[in-house]
Amino acid sequence: MNKVLRVGMVGYGFMGKMHGHAYRSLGFYYDPPPARIELRGIATQSEASWQRAGREDGYFFGTADYRELCARPDVDIIDCCAPNHLHKDVVLCALENEKHVYVDKPLARTLDEAREIAARAKEHPGLVTQVTFQYRFAPAILRAKELIDEGRLGDLYSVRACYLHAGYVDPKRPYSWRLDPEQSGRGGALFDLGSHVIDLTRFLAGEFAAVHHTAKTFITERPTKEDPGKTKPVNVDDISILTCRMANGAIGTVESSRLATGVQDELRFEAHGSQGAIRFNLMQPNYLEFYDNTAPGGSYGGERGFTAIESVHRYPAPAKWPGPKNTVGWERLHVHAIHNFVKCIVEGAPASPDAADGAKTQAVLEAAVQSQDKNAWVDVPSV
Amino acid sequence: MNKVLRVGMVGYGFMGKMHGHAYRSLGFYYDPPPARIELRGIATQSEASWQRAGREDGYFFGTADYRELCARPDVDIIDCCAPNHLHKDVVLCALENEKHVYVDKPLARTLDEAREIAARAKEHPGLVTQVTFQYRFAPAILRAKELIDEGRLGDLYSVRACYLHAGYVDPKRPYSWRLDPEQSGRGGALFDLGSHVIDLTRFLAGEFAAVHHTAKTFITERPTKEDPGKTKPVNVDDISILTCRMANGAIGTVESSRLATGVQDELRFEAHGSQGAIRFNLMQPNYLEFYDNTAPGGSYGGERGFTAIESVHRYPAPAKWPGPKNTVGWERLHVHAIHNFVKCIVEGAPASPDAADGAKTQAVLEAAVQSQDKNAWVDVPSV
Amino acid sequence: MNKVLRVGMVGYGFMGKMHGHAYRSLGFYYDPPPARIELRGIATQSEASWQRAGREDGYFFGTADYRELCARPDVDIIDCCAPNHLHKDVVLCALENEKHVYVDKPLARTLDEAREIAARAKEHPGLVTQVTFQYRFAPAILRAKELIDEGRLGDLYSVRACYLHAGYVDPKRPYSWRLDPEQSGRGGALFDLGSHVIDLTRFLAGEFAAVHHTAKTFITERPTKEDPGKTKPVNVDDISILTCRMANGAIGTVESSRLATGVQDELRFEAHGSQGAIRFNLMQPNYLEFYDNTAPGGSYGGERGFTAIESVHRYPAPAKWPGPKNTVGWERLHVHAIHNFVKCIVEGAPASPDAADGAKTQAVLEAAVQSQDKNAWVDVPSV
Amino acid sequence: MNKVLRVGMVGYGFMGKMHGHAYRSLGFYYDPPPARIELRGIATQSEASWQRAGREDGYFFGTADYRELCARPDVDIIDCCAPNHLHKDVVLCALENEKHVYVDKPLARTLDEAREIAARAKEHPGLVTQVTFQYRFAPAILRAKELIDEGRLGDLYSVRACYLHAGYVDPKRPYSWRLDPEQSGRGGALFDLGSHVIDLTRFLAGEFAAVHHTAKTFITERPTKEDPGKTKPVNVDDISILTCRMANGAIGTVESSRLATGVQDELRFEAHGSQGAIRFNLMQPNYLEFYDNTAPGGSYGGERGFTAIESVHRYPAPAKWPGPKNTVGWERLHVHAIHNFVKCIVEGAPASPDAADGAKTQAVLEAAVQSQDKNAWVDVPSV
């Protein structure tokens, strides 16, 4: 852990702070950490914001211009937590300046943008790019991936994935960039939550072949932040339902909702195959439920049933946290995602999920948007 | 309870026995029962079978001809537990003979058949017809219906309903009439399980406006019962996924699977609205989960959360079973469904779900079949 | 199933009706049933009551005198659902008249009474006696017993058992025989619920060596049924806590409460051993949770976790109900308990739990009562 | 947040690292944090260890002598993560040097030691002492405390608390100071886990009046770390069962086990009162289950049931983490416990749980040890 990696952060909202905390926590969770991290500089819109980032998180300097940050020789990593419409420019600028890139999801607003990012990333094989699909790093998901790769589910029949929360149930929640197609892309729940659950489905169940998309905006206007008496129309979906045909023959649904009243943060994944099944719910993150259809059955001696595999501690060494007794919190997933990113940099290895993964997920989003326009099944385009 | 009602049963398979047991248990669960029941006669294919029904369940006589049973003056009720392709003939014959009718689900093989049954039933307003959608009578569902009718969910946003089991995961399970479109209709899981969950969704969330259907047969041939060395092709779906637009504006999914490895009998229902949400799972039948979005929230004094409303005993009087301590078993739902039917006969009241309900559910099944043929959204036809 | 067994029922309260229903349902759940059952006669206090039993359940005759019932040559089985203080007299009278006996729990009011019953039962080896500890027949418990007998838990370390409900939380619930030590014995929750959970613990974890008992009456007087304006003092416990040392070296707790606010009917059992652990809760009766400590562990490839073994259908043949899809209801346990009793009669085999079992459980109750009097550990006396 | 507080850490094992991480994370979870924290110095046994602490956690200096650390003028806080037998000396030394104290649980080895610590702490009212009972700061527990303080449970009838894990099931786990009565005190699970759950019970259900203790050592010798071929005898309990009488009249059990096979880290708390009940399990930390016995009941319109109150985000402002969507992890509890400590220092307010709390919990431990020696109920001594 002699290597030092210096981070330049773009954006200091919720996710920028989360990523900063994760970088600073690497040494607590990993022994040794793959590298020593310095939070070097930050690009935000206002000087007040970067002053605060320096004071609170220890960034050495700030700027209003991400290009300046990307050009700094004392920065090794650009972490892009800007709104979606800036992803392409920031990431390309970072790559041009030979920086490793950690970029929030979804990779871009459109498949064209995502393809361009992925193509450029491919031209820089020495640089690591990783997309913030942190749920891949949930210990129960890591265990699910192992089981699936070992063939324990057999032929996959069906997938049922959801990402639900209640964040937009209150009609007074004001308009933001996440509701503006220009800034966030043509999906609401689809792009925000669906990108996560599509990536997770790709990770566990392979590529999507075709999708059929149904979506609806229920709360069609929201007050502006500036003047709660005025409203702006909402043109992105509140609820998104994808029916999908997977490349391996399975069929299934991928639903996203920001109007799931009563739900805190439920990322659910359920898959049934000829030999077994798995279930996961982010609100009970300590366990992966696995059913082994090859276990002894029958009314005497049967042992079939879903096993709540203890997954709290399922990070490969040198992770020392969580131990078998330390239940999982959401921030921890970011720590482990960023650990993977930093480790790949140090080892000169490609990261996963990389820009190509981001673009493939974007291709599903794009197909969904087209399906909704055409009211028909759409094949997922290649990347 | 002076009234005596005499039952003529058509079929003595799994459901025929279940219904017989439910009739005989009415007096145990209800105090007083609405009528005294006599299991009078039975129509089955073989004499051995009706001899056995007499010995075991107390039927006084048997016949191979359902017409003979329907024509008997000493029979008041025809209970039709024959395969789907016989429903229309049996029910019409019963109605012609002025018998009350209790008929297994789905009402028929096709919408045309279902419409004909519903039309004839309507011509006999003095006769009660009821379809075996027993899940309407689960205590948690009765409570859900009350809450929804009181407006406790507000505007409905989404519905997520599934009926899953693993009954067909074993590829050696032999071919049966349930896999034959001629006998069961053009859906497999869709007709068998989907009819239940569509009816339940109609009961709780109102009528379907349009559906988009995706279905697949994974195990495309199965051994015959007669000769396990021979196989027959399977032409009905193993897994069915409906995306739906409800008349009230909600969108959602209704899934049915007979290949849900590891699942015993999961009928799940979940609905989110502007004011609240509900969740139910048949494998935890003692509770209805209800979220009241109007309860006090916030980080001090908040009381929001899903309440597992104790539902074991939620049958209106004079039901004495289950009491608050007697957990729910599946047979009990049949008892309560049949109680409703018998009570309506005694009171001269129409039953619900009636033949029109059966036809409306059939209309959704028909739209699903057409959607799959056309690969497009199909409006649910009126009945 | 040519054999016919004729039942004489003593008592027609809640349990008398439950047992009657269970006898009448045998043929529905078992194929073939072990015998054909006739509900022959009933002994209750009033003619109105036995008239009703005849009308509703089909008993052929009634009497106010259990001795007359016991003496009838056309009765094979005496089922004793009278209050605890009558158990000894009824059972001894039945045995003298050479009747098989099914008797509600606890076996008696005192250990002396229980010993006498057990001794007399032993003198009639040709007669079957069984005590109503129906939880032994829950499918998940049957499976637990198998696993323990196979040594899957290894050396047993601890037992944590509870039987909780909220039946007496309402201080207006009137005084009844269950609160009268003369009629019910010197324990309240201890005798009523504790007898069940002690029997279950004995069944699964072996005999008790010594107990330490703590109990308390919180609601110290209750209105009388006759005049709600008057009250009677309550002299039996509302909550009972047993600490126990088992003969096999394990230690643990057995708690009973009729003041468990919010609880419907929670019989919980949890045991940890050197090789594994089990958990059960009657309100989620479809599963037995089992942990196999010999399964592969560790952060890669580990499969350890509690398996929710599907237990719905775990009755040995010829039980046809429940099938793997028919969730468990409480009445069903009575059916299966009574099936065991009837089968033992037909086969001429001793039943379990028999009178000796009832007496052994009574010995634990007695030790608990003494422990509370002496405020000290008390060895469980032999029977 | 101008104030700077400088921490001197004693010990750099598991808990020392956890506390260091929590101090460094304050600014991430609180906006603004109550003070700026500097991890100033560390006292550990070896130079290698303090060198590492400096490198990894940023401590400026190290020493083998905690007295030197306590005497430093540039240290404001002494955080004692040394084994139990050193607590008294470290804490007294810190207080003599006018340092605020954060000390791991249990407060000491014996009640005499704990009393001395509490007495000295009382002599320094300007210094804040807090004991590491971090579970008080779990959001669901904070909510439980509010509900209880509002009288929502009514008169408390019973308490059922457990702290279970499987950490010592493997008989090859080597001997350590936690198994040595000289270093850890006369309880094993009792002191290690019981101290937590006793404190939590005191926090929620008030003081203990008397206890009866049953405990057992099942694995009576363990290999030494130095030579796995040699073993040392284990003289502290593996499993501890307290029966307790609370000052408010409730009765209950408090169990601790390090032999709970299959259990990760289950701190369970359950209380039933005349008006309501609560349930909590640390492995499902996102919810507090609350039952309101005053809600409408009955079979029509009833709303009674356990509500899983969403508790993820129940920290009072200025906590910004967790938000309603960020599930709880174990480390976070330490962050919030330490936040409370730092805030009290900054505000000049006494902390809770303080040394007196630590001593009161110690009094329960002492009574438990005596109860086991005497095999009798022992009143909890005053402090």
3-state helix, strand, coil in chain D (%, to 5): 35, 25, 40
- Please answer whether residues C250 and C270 qualify as being in contact, where contact means their C-beta atoms are separated by less than 8 angstroms: no
- Please answer whether residues D173 and D368 qualify as being in contact, where contact means their C-beta atoms are separated by less than 8 angstroms: no
Element (H, E) at D288: strand D287-292
> How far off is chain D from C261, nearest CA to CA, in Å?
6
Chain B residues in contact with D305 (beta carbon < 8 A) = 287, 290, 307-310
Query: B157 vs A257: CB contact, 8 Å cut-off?
Result: yes
Compare CB distances from B313 to D299, D303, D317 and report the shortest one's residue. Answer: D299
Place of tokens 């050197």: C274
pLDDT at A11 over 90: yes
**How does the average pLDDT of chain B come out, rounded?**
91
Amino acid found at D72: R
Q: Are β-strands C221-223 and C231-233 bridged in parallel, bridged antiparallel, or unpaired?
A: antiparallel
Question: Which chain A residue lies closest to C307 (C-alpha atoms)?
Answer: A307
Q: Measure the CA–CA gap between D148 and D136, rounded to whole angstroms.
A: 14
Query: A283 vs D283: CB contact, 8 Å cut-off?
Result: no
Q: Where are the extended beta strands (E) located within D113-204?
A: 129-131, 156-164
Q: Tens digit of pLDDT for each residue in C228-261?
A: 899 999 999 999 999 999 999 999 999 999 999 9
What's the alpha-carbon Rg for chain B, to the nearest Å? 21
pLDDT confidence tier of residue B80, bands split at 50, 70 and 90: very high
Nearest to D189 by CA among D256, D264, D110: D256
Query: B305 vs D300: CB contact, 8 Å cut-off?
Result: no
Chain A residues in contact with C290 (beta carbon < 8 A) = 303, 305
Residues C236, C239, C244, CA angle at the centre, nearest 5°? Answer: 105
Q: How large is the average pLDDT for residues B151-158?
A: 98
Chain A residues in contact with C146 (beta carbon < 8 A) = 300-301
pLDDT tens track of chain D, all 383 residues? 468 999 999 999 988 998 998 899 888 888 888 888 899 999 998 999 999 999 888 899 999 999 999 999 999 999 999 999 999 999 999 999 999 999 999 999 999 999 999 999 999 988 999 999 889 888 899 999 999 999 999 999 999 999 999 999 999 999 999 999 999 999 999 999 999 999 999 999 999 999 999 999 999 999 999 998 999 999 999 999 999 999 999 999 999 999 999 999 999 999 999 999 999 999 888 899 999 999 998 778 899 999 999 988 777 777 766 666 677 777 777 777 787 888 888 888 888 888 888 888 888 989 999 999 998 999 999 98
Residues B245, B247, B251, CA angle at the centre, nearest 5°? Answer: 30
Specify the pLDDT at position D2: 64
Q: Measure the CA–CA gap between B159 and B157, rounded to whole angstroms.
A: 7
Query: Which residues on chain C place their C-beta less than 8 Å from a C-beta of chain D?
Result: 155, 157-158, 160, 162, 169, 212, 214-216, 218, 238-239, 241, 243, 245, 249, 251-253, 255, 257, 259-263, 272-277, 291, 293, 304-306, 375-377
Decide: helix, strand or coil at residue D4. strand
Count of Cβ atoms closer than 10 Å to residue A147 Cβ: 19
The Cα diameter of chain D in Å comes to: 71
Q: Is the dihedral of CA C173, C178, C182, C185 positive or negative?
A: negative
Chain B residues in contact with A215 (beta carbon < 8 A) = 251
User: What CA dihedral angle connects C108, C81, C333 and C97, to 10 degrees?
Assistant: 80
Chain A residues in contact with D328 (beta carbon < 8 A) = 327, 329
Question: Which chain B residue lies closest to A292 (C-alpha atoms)?
Answer: B262
Full DSSP string of C112-163 = HHHHHHHHHHHH-TTS-EEE--GGGGSHHHHHHHHHHHTTTT-SEEEEEEEE
Check residues B248 and A341 and name the one with the higher pLDDT.
B248
Region of residue B379 (phi > 0: left; psi between -120 and 50: alpha; otherwise: beta): beta
Report all structural domains of chain D as residue ranges with CATH numbers, in order of start. 4-134 (3.40.50.720), 136-323+361-374 (3.30.360.10)
Specify the pLDDT at position C22: 87
Specify the pLDDT at position A1: 46
pLDDT confidence tier of residue B330, bands split at 50, 70 and 90: confident
Q: How large is the average pLDDT for residues C60-70?
A: 96
Expressed in angstroms, the distance from the first to the final Cα of chain C is 36
Q: Measure the CA–CA gap between C210 and C381, rounded to whole angstroms.
A: 9
Count of Cβ atoms closer than 10 Å to residue D144 Cβ: 27
User: What CA dihedral angle connects C320, C326, C327 and C330, to 10 degrees?
Assistant: -50
Chain B residues in contact with C21 (beta carbon < 8 A) = 25, 28
- Please answer whether residues B239 and B259 qualify as being in contact, where contact means their C-beta atoms are separated by less than 8 angstroms: yes
Tokens of B211: 């559906």
pLDDT confidence tier of residue A316, bands split at 50, 70 and 90: confident
Question: Could you tell me which residues come within 8 angstroms of residue B161 by beta carbon, excluding any fewer than 6 positions away?
Answer: B197, B200, B201, B252, B253, B254, B255, B268, B269, B270
Which subunits have 3 or more CB–CB pairs within 8 Å of chain B?
A, C, D
Specify the pLDDT at position C1: 46
Q: Measure the CA–CA gap between B371 and A180, rounded to whole angstroms.
A: 33
Chain D residues in contact with B286 (beta carbon < 8 A) = none
CA C276 to mean position of chain CA atoms: 26
Query: Which residues on chain A place their C-beta less than 8 Å from a C-beta of chain D?
Result: 17, 20-21, 24-25, 27-28, 56-57, 165, 167, 264-265, 282-286, 310, 312, 321-322, 324-332
Specify the pLDDT at position B1: 46
Question: Could you tell me which residues come within 8 angstroms of residue A377 by beta carbon, excluding any fewer than 6 positions away?
Answer: A210, A211, A212, A245, A371, B375
Q: Measure the CA–CA gap between C75 and B8, rounded to whole angstroms.
A: 33
Place of tokens 């087209």: A370
Specify the pLDDT at position D325: 67
Amino acid found at C183: Q
Chain D residues in contact with A24 (beta carbon < 8 A) = 24
Q: Tens digit of pLDDT for each residue in A193-244?
A: 999 999 999 999 999 999 999 999 999 999 999 998 999 999 999 999 999 9
Q: Measure the CA–CA gap between A165 and A168, rounded to whole angstroms.
A: 8
Specify the pLDDT at position C325: 66
pLDDT confidence tier of residue C324, bands split at 50, 70 and 90: low
Compare CB distances from C243 to D160, D243, D263 and report the shortest one's residue. Answer: D243
pLDDT at C341 over 60: yes
**How does the average pLDDT of chain A come out, rounded?**
91
Mutate which: C293, C299, C310, C314, vs A, most A CBs within 10 A: C299
